[in-house]
Each structure stands twice: as C-alpha cells, then as structure tokens.
Amino acid sequence: MGDATSSPGGLAHKTCKACEKGGKPLPDAQIAALLPQIPGWDRAGSEIAKTFRFKNYHESMAFVNATAWISHREDHHPDIELGYNKVRVRYSTHSVGGLSENDFICAAKIETLMSL
C-alpha cells in the first residue's frame, strides 16, 4: 500500500501512550495533518469516525471482535455501532476532551485489518 498507515514508522506501527486527565487535545493543524493518513475517516467535532461495510452479520461481528482486540492491546477504546452489514467506529480521547494521537493510531491499526 505504501501509505502512512502501513509504511514503517507510520501510525499503525506506533503504540498508544497514556493521556493525562486534563491534558490538551491535538490542535486543528495537527489533526488536519493526521487525517489524510487514515483514508475514509472523517472528523466530526471532537471525534473521528468511519463506517465499514460488510457482506453479512458474521463479517461485521468478526470485524468488531478484531477491533476489540486492537483496542484492548492499545488500551484505547472506541464507540462501536453494529448493524447487520455495517459497523461504525468512533474515536475520541475523553481524558483530553477531544482528539489525541491515540485516536489516529488506533484508526490506522483498524485500517490494516481491511487489507488482510
């Protein structure tokens, strides 16, 4: 693929770091620079989100479970909305009241699932 999510040193190769409560969210300029590195994700206020589409419920559930594994390993958890053939994933860092690099790291890791 060669994009920032799969390239060595890209977001998908980073690890989430603990955020301190009351820390500052990423500035808009940094968000604007990171967003193109996770294709198909959109910013909606203080979160980033993407809807993934699948053939059936089984594939949707498999994706949710794989996403849960990534979230557990990174200790950074999204809000997930599950439908029969679609899953909406939303990330935000509650401890900083907005977006942190962790949100982009996890989104990039989830993107790599789609290329397996």
Domain ranges of the chain: 26-113
- Minimum mean pLDDT range among 11-20, 48-57, 68-77: 11-20
116 band by pLDDT with thresholds 50, 70 and 90: confident
Looking at residue 7, what is its pLDDT? Answer: 58
Q: For residue 48, how many other CB atoms are within 10 A of its CB?
A: 23
Got the DSSP string for 7-50?
A: STTSGGGS---PPPTTPPPPPHHHHHHHGGGSTT-EEETTEEEE
Residue 62 host element (H or E) = helix 57-74
* Largest distance between two CA atoms of the chain: 41
The H or E element that residue 68 is part of is helix 57-74
Q: Residue 41: pLDDT above 70? A: yes
HSE (side-chain half, CA atoms, 13 Å) at 39: 10
Domain 26-113: give its CATH superfamily. Answer: Transcriptional coactivator/pterin dehydratase (3.30.1360.20)
Q: Specify whether the CB–CB gap between 38 and 107 falls below 8 A.
A: yes
Give pTM, 2 decimals.
0.88
